[in-house]
Amino acid sequence: MKDFDALKDLWSGQTNDPKMDYEGVLKDVRKSGSAMANRLMTESLAMLAGVMTFGWIWLEGSFLLWTTHLSIAILVACCIYYLTVQLTDYRRLSSGKDVLQKPDLYISYLQKYQRERYNFNTRNYKIYSIFIGIALALFAIELYYISPVWQSIICLIFSIGWFIMCWRLMISYRIKEQERINEMITKLERIKKQFD
Amino acid sequence: MAKKEVLFGEIFKANSKKIYHLCYGYTGDEAAAHDLMQETFMKVWQNLEGFRNQAMISTWVYRIAVNTCLSWLRVEKRQAKDPLTDYIIENSREEISEKNDQVEKLYKCIAQLEENERLIITMVLDEVPYPEIAEISSVSEGNLRVKIHRIKHKLTEIYNRYERF
């Protein structure tokens, strides 16, 4: 049988020391900083390429209908929206400012962040997909007038197939995500009660 | 930049051991404790310029560590509170020396406590002053004393129960 003082002696005599030094931490800070910057850069460049491609098509193409102009404008807006959200989230995570709060406030921040991400991955993604769908449908109107019927049909089949695939993937992703988020929020709420 | 590095080095030397104990006490896992400690000091480095001496630097570092441990839950699927089974105890005996075996068992017992109890008790064991623990864990000092009394009793009970194996 040991009392608390015996446990304290055991604790103070432990040889469990961290196996790292501050120079190693600094090395990793620089490495992770550049990894984050590279990821950001790659994503930004990919989205920028998308925006430029649509812009180029918009400027160079001679479209007959106003619906096509609207279609391209929607696609460009979707790309910019997605890029803005990603950039904001990365900046927020990399700054690490929230971690300086008191633990009870930090738990509230984590709960809020989880819900925001959940909304982004479900509700906002749904709206995002609907806009992409509208853009493709508007584009299909012009395609119907300028292309042979078989090309229009292939384009229509491809678009519908793509949507069904995305929808199915999103359903399974949403179910998994929901379970995970619910589990996390339950845990955080349980911890929050401990700090109240 | 060099001045910042010197300051960071001093902060690291003064706090790393205690922060490691806190992370180990929270996770009950050596590898996870190293990851969390590293993440904590990375955040310390990133925010060092913003530190305005509103709190003691150790309190500030502790707070970052506590929040890093809390956010560990967001990505960690495995529950930290693994039951202390015979299998774990048996494995521990094979892997570590007799003296460290007891310390290892103590960490596993700490991991059986509630999350904020783990954070508080590791600071108590590391002899962090009570006002500082209260400040770090957002608990009033009066409430903290009651909590500490209860956690000490709980931890001793868990440890003695498993020492009988």
Q: Cβ atoms within 10 A of the Cβ of A188, count?
A: 21
Using a CB–CB cutoff of 8 Å, tell me whether A92 touches chain B: no
pLDDT at B88 over 60: no
The two counts, helices (H) then strands (E), for chain A are 6, 0
Residues A4-57 pLDDT 10s = 888 988 888 887 678 888 788 888 777 776 676 677 778 778 888 888 898 898
Q: Rounded to whole angstroms, how far apart are CA atoms A35 and B42?
A: 14
A57 lies in which domain range? Answer: 42-195
Phi and psi for A30 in degrees, rounded to 5?
Answer: -65, -40
Contact call for B139 and A14, based on CB within 8 A: no
Least confident window among B90-94, B96-100, B136-140: B90-94
Counting one residue from chain A and one from chain B, the pairs whose CB atoms sit within 8 A come to: 135
Predicted local distance difference test score (pLDDT) of residue B40: 92
Contact call for A194 and B114, based on CB within 8 A: yes
Quote ipTM for the complex: 0.77
What residues contact residue B58 under an 8 Å CB cut-off, 6+ apart? B14, B15, B18, B128, B132
Phi and psi for B137 in degrees, rounded to 5?
Answer: -95, 10
With respect to residue A12, please indicate whether it lies within any of the assigned structural domains: no
Residues of A in contact with B38 (CB under 8 A): 20, 25, 28
Predicted local distance difference test score (pLDDT) of residue B54: 64
State the total domains in chain A: 1
Nearest alpha carbon to residue A191 among B119, B132, B98, B131: B119
Residues of A in contact with B33 (CB under 8 A): 18
With respect to residue A19, please indicate whether it lies within any of the assigned structural domains: no
As a whole number of Å, the end-to-end CA separation of chain A is 34
With respect to residue A22, please indicate whether it lies within any of the assigned structural domains: no
Residue of A nearest to B75 (CA): A184
Nearest alpha carbon to residue A97 among B120, B49, B37, B134: B49
Predicted local distance difference test score (pLDDT) of residue A48: 85
Residue matched to tokens 């999103």: A170
Which whole number is the average pLDDT over A156-177? 83
Q: Rounded to whole angstroms, how far apart are CA atoms B32 and B76?
A: 10
Which whole number is the average pLDDT over B9-25? 91
Which whole number is the average pLDDT over B63-84? 69
pLDDT at B146 over 90: yes
Least confident window among A101-110, B97-106, B117-126: B97-106
Which whole number is the average pLDDT over A152-177? 84
With respect to residue A6, please indicate whether it lies within any of the assigned structural domains: no
What residues contact residue B158 under an 8 Å CB cut-off, 6+ apart? B109, B112, B113
Taking a C-beta distance cutoff of 8 angstroms, is the pair A36, A94 a contact? Answer: yes
Percent of chain B residues past pLDDT 90, beyond the cut: 39
Residues A135-158 pLDDT 10s = 988 988 888 888 888 888 898 898
Q: How confident is the model at residue B150 (pLDDT cuts 50, 70, 90)?
A: very high
Q: In sequence order, which ranges of B48-140 are alpha helices (DSSP H)?
A: 57-75, 86-95, 98-110, 115-125, 130-137
Mean pLDDT score across all residues of chain A: 83
Which whole number is the average pLDDT over B124-138? 90
Which whole number is the average pLDDT over A61-79? 90
pLDDT at B124 over 80: yes
Using a CB–CB cutoff of 8 Å, tell me whether A5 touches chain B: no
Residues of B in contact with A100 (CB under 8 A): 47, 50, 60, 63-64, 67
Least confident window among A34-48, A121-135, B7-21, B77-91: B77-91
pLDDT at B20 over 90: yes
pLDDT at B85 over 60: no
d(CA A173, nearest CA chain B) in Å: 17
Residue of B nearest to A9 (CA): B125
Q: How confident is the model at residue B122 (pLDDT cuts 50, 70, 90)?
A: very high
Q: Rounded to whole angstroms, how far apart are CA atoms B148 and B121?
A: 7
With respect to residue A13, please indicate whether it lies within any of the assigned structural domains: no
**Residue from the list B8, B34, B116 with its beta carbon closest to the beta carbon of A20:** B34
Best to test chain A binding among B37, B40, B67, B148 (most A CBs inside 10 Å): B67
Helix (H, G, I), strand (E, B) or coil at A138: helix
**Residue from the list A2, A14, A187 with its beta carbon closest to the beta carbon of B73:** A187
Q: How confident is the model at residue B165 (pLDDT cuts 50, 70, 90)?
A: low
Contact call for B115 and A103, based on CB within 8 A: no
Q: Which one is predicted more confidently, B91 or B157? A: B157
Residue of B nearest to A182 (CA): B74
Q: What is the largest CA-CA distance in chain B?
A: 54
Using a CB–CB cutoff of 8 Å, tell me whether A148 touches chain B: no
d(CA B87, nearest CA chain A) in Å: 22
Which whole number is the average pLDDT over B68-74? 80
> Rounded to the nearest 10 degrees, how much is the dihedral formed by the CA atoms of A177, A31, B27, A114?
-30
Contact call for A184 and B73, based on CB within 8 A: yes
Residues B126, B132, B136, B142, CA torsion sign = positive
Q: How confident is the model at residue B148 (pLDDT cuts 50, 70, 90)?
A: very high
